[in-house]
Structure formats: structure tokens, C-alpha cells
A and B are shown apart, each in its own frame.
Chain A
Amino acid sequence: MAALQQLRIASFFPSLFPRIASTSFQPSFRSTVLYAQHAQESRLPSVTDLAIAIPAAISQIPSLLGDIWEGILRAVPKKKTSHMKKRHRLLAGKALKDVTSLNKCPACGGIKKMHTLCSNCMGRLGGMLERDLKQKA
């Protein structure tokens, strides 16, 4: 049975998929030749032989098909993702936020961040204190 089924596959496969057949069937090729001789002796296979052989052949095909599709047909991107697309995707939702916690400096009236010294007044007052300290020393 197995001999027959291997014979069939071996005979029609190279014609359909020459590349696959040449690679994946190479190791078992000698055995198929032996079986081919055996099959020629009995000329025509009986009906019962075929009936049993076919389901077994079907069960073996999927594993072969897995090899067939390797590297031939796969869903792949058609184009490289552009720099712009990639940066937009990676930085989505990470834009800088507006600073809304602002108030007026009580010493100069300028706008400053809340809970933070006004940098203008800090510089001028700090400079004044520094100069006074140096004068004393």
C-alpha cells in the first residue's frame, strides 16, 4: 500500500513542483525507484488497493503542503515604512503639553510659573544680595 502511494506521489510531484521535488524528495528517492520496479510487475493495481491508498495519501499531503508554501506566498508589507510614518506612530499622544499653571510675580508683575521664583526678580535680587555681602566682607 505504502509502496503504491509513494510511487504515485513520486511520479506526479516532480512535474507539478520541480523545485520542491528536487529538494525535499532527494533523500527518499532511491527507495521509490525500488518500489517502482515492484509496481510494474503487478501492472494494474486492484480497486481495493486504491480505496485504501487514497485516504492515507490525503493524510500525508498537509505536511508536504506546509513545505511547499515556504517562501512562496506570505502576507508581507509591500513598502518600507517611511521615517515620517514611523515617527508619527511612535510619538502619537506624546506631544508637549501647554503650561497652564501660571501666575503673576508679586514683585514685578510679570508672568511666572506657579510655586516657582520669577527668574527675573531672582536674578536681580540675588545679585543685589551678593553685592551687599561682598561689600560687607
Chain B
Amino acid sequence: MAGGLVKYRHLSRKSSHRQALLRNLVTALVQHESVRTTWPKAKETQRLAEKLITLAKRNNETSRRKATGILFTPHDLLPKLFGELRLRYASRPGGYTRVLRTEPKSRYDQGDSAILELVDGPKDLRFAMTAATVARDQRLGRSHNPITLLNRQKVTRFRPGGQAAFDEMVKKVGALRLGGKGAGPQNEGEAPAS
């Protein structure tokens, strides 16, 4: 392995152990729409998850059998995979999952940690985060950052009723007052829109 081309992360496990780990994670992802693990595990699981959803979109007997081989609880999750998720991603050409870096989950080893989530799902954190940014900009009377605009475009592009859902989320998140008590425009002690 030393110096050679590594085609996938070995995750310090033998093949069977690694396979079981990835199947566990992808099963949890389909069930819960989002999982939090270390960043390398999230990236490896992402590959498997994308392949699994491609199988769902292919939607034939062979792909159904293969998906059964990947999921640990196919009886519970196959209907969701071949129903809800297949329809959600029908018009999206790949990129069904997203990995977001987070603060280390373990204080002890400070390992890189991340969230793996299904795009456009009910737990889409990038969607909520962008809505929160827009809500804050509106509250402070700022113009939006170009990155925020790009994120909004990405997040609403394939979502059914995307723009309306986004505006609703902006209202909902604005009510959370993420900046804390003193986050109103009058006592915000920072320079606007730079």
C-alpha cells in the first residue's frame, strides 16, 4: 500500500469489517436522512450511498436485489428507498448526498468530523443554514453575500416548490433568533455587509 494508488480509504479495518461499517452507516443514512461520523467515514459512505440511490433510480429487479444486499434492514427501508427517495432524486443527475465538516465530535482525539446528509431531505442542514443566513441579512438590512446567493440557488434548484419552501424556512429560522438576545439590528455592534 505504501506509495501506491489507494482507490478507497481502508479505515484501519479488514475488508469485511469495513464493509459492515459502511453498510451500517448507509442504512442509518437512509433511515434517518443524516448521520454524523468522522469525515473519512462520511466520504466513504457517501460513495456507497450515491450508488445505492442510483440503484433505486434504476428501479428494476436486479437493482432491487443489489440494494437488498447493501441495506441491513431492507424490509423496513426498501419501500422508502424505491419510493420516496427515488422520486425525490428523479430529476437530479447525481449528487444526492452532501458532507459538511463540523467541529470535532471527540474532544479526546480531535478527529475531523462531518455530517453526511441526503440533499433536499427533511434534515437538509445546508438548506436551513442558508435560510438562517438570509434571515439574518434581512434582519440587519444587508445585501446578500454572493456565496449566500449561490447557496440559495443550489439548495432550491431541484427541490419541488423550492423557492416557496425556502421562504417559509427563512421565516421559521428567523424566529429562532440565532444570534442570541442582543442580535437585533439596534444593538448589533458590527459593521454591516462588508
Contacts and interface: CB of A to CB of B under 8 A. Distances in A.
Interface of A: 106-110, 113, 115-117, 119-122, 124-126, 128-130, 132-133, 136
Contact of B102 (A106, A117, A129, A133): A117
A117 B190 contact: no
Contact of A109 (B101, B102, B188): B188
B103 A129 contact: no
Nearest to B103: A119
A106 B122 contact: no
Interface residues of B, number: 28
Interface of B: 33, 100-103, 115, 122-125, 128-129, 132-133, 135-137, 145, 148, 172-173, 176, 178-180, 183, 188, 190
A99 to B, nearest CB: 11
Given A116-B102, A119-B103, A108 B125 contact: no
A77 B132 CA distance: 65
A120 to B, nearest CB: 8
Contacts of A110: 179
28 contacts: A106-B129, A106-B132, A106-B133, A107-B129, A107-B133, A108-B132, A108-B179, A108-B183, A109-B136, A109-B179, A116-B101, A117-B100, A117-B115, A119-B102, A119-B103, A120-B178, A121-B132, A122-B102, A122-B115, A122-B125, A124-B178, A125-B125, A125-B132, A125-B176, A129-B123, A129-B124, A129-B128, A136-B122
A120 B103 CA distance: 10
Contacts, number: 73
Contact of B148 (A106, A109, A115): A106
